[in-house]
């Protein structure tokens, strides 16, 4: 059983991690495409329209990869987690079906119109098509996170005699106190990925002395969106998410922060350290006194419960993994604020386009928002475990009883090989689009 759970978790974690590399860019990029198209309608400057169409090519490629990698993940609810699907399907199936039926079709339909229908639609309807692509992509994220939020903080349900969960309040799914902070935090993270991606391409064009006008436009747009989203992901959205964890999952919060012993006179915030699970302590820690209490409760002397206060049976399954994922996310988020703030300052001083060291930093920073977003999702998922539905269904109760661990391992290795090939193909196609640059044509 332990092998079965391990391989099911590994397979699902791998497929969803690879899948989310694509939606996190499309959700942020869709808003920036709407901005470029809006600026074209407002200013009639053709390079804004060319920029919108250029980025929609990369959006479309990301969207296609997201679909290809998302479908197997949906099937794994039945193959890997059949008992979970059987018991909770009447609830999580609601939001997942809505995401597929409404958001996906909205996004895909108007994506085709935007790419192929500019002449037929005219510029205002072309903008509307782009806006609907944005709306569909953000609605998709909302419905997925509504599902995730119910698993983190279940509401509006009853458990029947046969053990199945039944939805008693449909509205509760969308008024879940866990939902909006998580959603806004996630969307801010997506905007960070898109901002760094757009900035990196702009920096590449300026450093390689090609498409200079577009390089400046991409750089300026990416930095402005980037500095705003980098701040918003920390405050207020990150702060609200953390307060939810404190309120509803205090044991998770203690593990995230690396606090083993309850601190009554004010809890320190850990900057660095290594969890020692044998001796239940944090080794080699670097900490700032009382800051965590103030950030959490706005009081310097507020008590933060330590991990040792809770029974081991409710501890997160992988405390070191949770601790490191959280600190990677928070550390990179702090670095993003610094990079984008410096870039915004140089942009304001009209020195950004000629300051090569910051251009190199922006160009090579492109992988790190992906790492930060992935670490953020790992924080959420590792924090919930050992529960599939927090405090109600443990992981061992949700696995498929008839699928052997050997079958799961075999298909897992198959997914790894296939996705590596898909990733290489995607990488080559994106590089080709970037290398060719925006097609400069007159708008109709």
Q: What is the DSSP string of 367-385?
A: THHHHHHHHHHHHHHHHHT
Please give the average per-residue pLDDT across 250-274, as a whole number: 91
pLDDT above 90: residue 239: yes
Closest CA to 364 of 253, 185, 232, 203: 203
**Token pair of 40, please?**
């074209």
pLDDT tens for residues 16-25? Answer: 999 999 999 9
Please give the average per-residue pLDDT across 360-365, as a whole number: 98
SS percent in the chain: helix, strand, coil, step 5: 75, 5, 20
Residue 220 to residue 213: CA distance in whole angstroms: 11
For residues 359 and 105, which has the higher predicted lDDT (pLDDT)?
359
Please give the average per-residue pLDDT across 403-431, as a whole number: 93
Residue 44 to residue 400: CA distance in whole angstroms: 57
pLDDT tens for residues 114-161? Answer: 999 999 999 999 999 999 999 999 999 999 999 999 999 999 999 999
Q: Running DSSP on this structure, what letter comes out for residue 178?
A: T
For the chain, the residue count is 444
Closest CA to 363 of 191, 198, 193, 189: 198
Q: How confident is the prediction for the chain on average, in pLDDT?
A: 94
Confidence of residue 74 (pLDDT cuts 50, 70, 90): confident
**What secondary structure does DSSP assign to 133-158, as a single string?**
HHHHHHHHHHHHHHHHHHHHS--SEE
CA atoms within 13 A on the CB side of 284: 5
* Neighbouring residues of 355: CB distance < 8 A, sequence distance ≥ 6: 346
Confidence of residue 298 (pLDDT cuts 50, 70, 90): confident
- Bridge partners (DSSP) of residue 55 are none
Per-position b or e across 230-254, b if 16+ CB within 10 A of its CB: bbbbbeebbeebbbbbbeebbbbbb
Closest CA to 385 of 277, 262, 237, 255: 255
Q: Which residue has the tokens 């997914």?
A: 415
Question: Which has the minimum average pLDDT: 171-180, 285-294, 422-431?
Answer: 285-294
162 phi-psi bin (left φ>0, alpha ψ -120 to 50, beta other): alpha
pLDDT tens for residues 197-206? Answer: 999 999 999 9
End-to-end alpha carbon distance in the chain: 62
pLDDT above 50: residue 444: no
pLDDT above 70: residue 264: yes
Closest CA to 359 of 233, 189, 216: 216
Q: For 260-334, list the strands marked E by DSSP.
A: 269-276, 281-288
Please tell me the predicted confidence (pLDDT) of residue 442. 47
Q: Which residue has the tokens 């640059």?
A: 437
Please give the average per-residue pLDDT across 264-275, as a whole number: 88
* Neighbouring residues of 233: CB distance < 8 A, sequence distance ≥ 6: 185, 188, 189, 192, 333, 336
Please tell me the predicted confidence (pLDDT) of residue 441. 57
């Amino acid at each position: 059983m332990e092998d079965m759970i391990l391989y099911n978790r590994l397979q699902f974690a791998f497929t969803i991690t690879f899948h989310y590399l694509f939606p996190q860019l499309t959700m942020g990029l869709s808003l920036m495409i709407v901005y470029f198209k809006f600026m074209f309608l407002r200013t009639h400057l053709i390079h804004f329209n060319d920029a919108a169409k250029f980025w929609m090519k990369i959006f479309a490629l990301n969207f296609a990869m997201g679909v290809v990698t998302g479908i197997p993940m949906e099937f794994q609810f039945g193959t890997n987690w059949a008992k979970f699907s059987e018991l909770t399907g009447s609830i999580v199936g609601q939001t997942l079906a809505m995401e597929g039926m409404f958001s996906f079709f909205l996004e895909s339909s108007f994506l085709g119109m935007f790419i192929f229908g500019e002449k037929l639609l005219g510029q205002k309807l072309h903008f509307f098509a782009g806006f609907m692509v944005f709306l569909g992509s953000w609605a998709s994220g909302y419905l997925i996170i509504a599902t995730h939020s119910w698993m983190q903080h279940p509401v509006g349900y009853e458990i029947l005699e046969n053990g199945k969960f039944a939805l008693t309040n449909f509205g509760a799914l969308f008024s879940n106190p866990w939902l909006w902070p998580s959603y806004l935090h996630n969307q801010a993270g997506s905007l960070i990925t898109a901002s760094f991606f757009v900035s990196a391409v702009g920096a590449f064009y300026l450093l390689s002395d090609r498409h200079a006008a577009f390089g400046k436009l991409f750089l300026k747009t990416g930095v402005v969106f980037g500095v705003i989203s980098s701040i918003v992901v920390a405050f207020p959205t990150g702060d609200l998410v953390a307060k939810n964890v404190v309120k509803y999952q205090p044991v998770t919060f203690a593990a995230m922060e690396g606090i083993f012993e309850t601190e009554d006179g004010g809890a320190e915030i850990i900057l660095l350290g290594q969890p020692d699970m044998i001796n239940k302590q944090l080794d080699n820690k670097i900490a700032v006194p009382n800051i965590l209490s103030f950030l959490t409760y706005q009081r310097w002397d507020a008590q933060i419960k330590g991990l040792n206060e809770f029974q081991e049976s409710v501890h997160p399954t992988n405390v070191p993994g949770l601790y490191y994922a959280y600190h990677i996310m928070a550390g990179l988020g702090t670095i993003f604020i610094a990079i984008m703030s410096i870039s915004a300052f140089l942009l304001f001083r009209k020195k950004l386009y000629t300051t090569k060291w910051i251009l190199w930093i922006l160009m090579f920073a492109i992988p790190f928002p992906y790492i930060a977003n992935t670490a953020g999702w790992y924080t959420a998922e590792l924090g919930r475990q050992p529960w599939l539905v927090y405090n109600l269904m443990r992981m061992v109760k949700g696995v498929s009883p008839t699928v052997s661990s050997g079958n799961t391992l075999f298909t897992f290795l198959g997914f790894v090989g296939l996705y590596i090939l898909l990733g290489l193909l995607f990488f080559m196609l994106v590089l080709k689009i970037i290398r060719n640059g925006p097609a400069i044509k007159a708008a109709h």
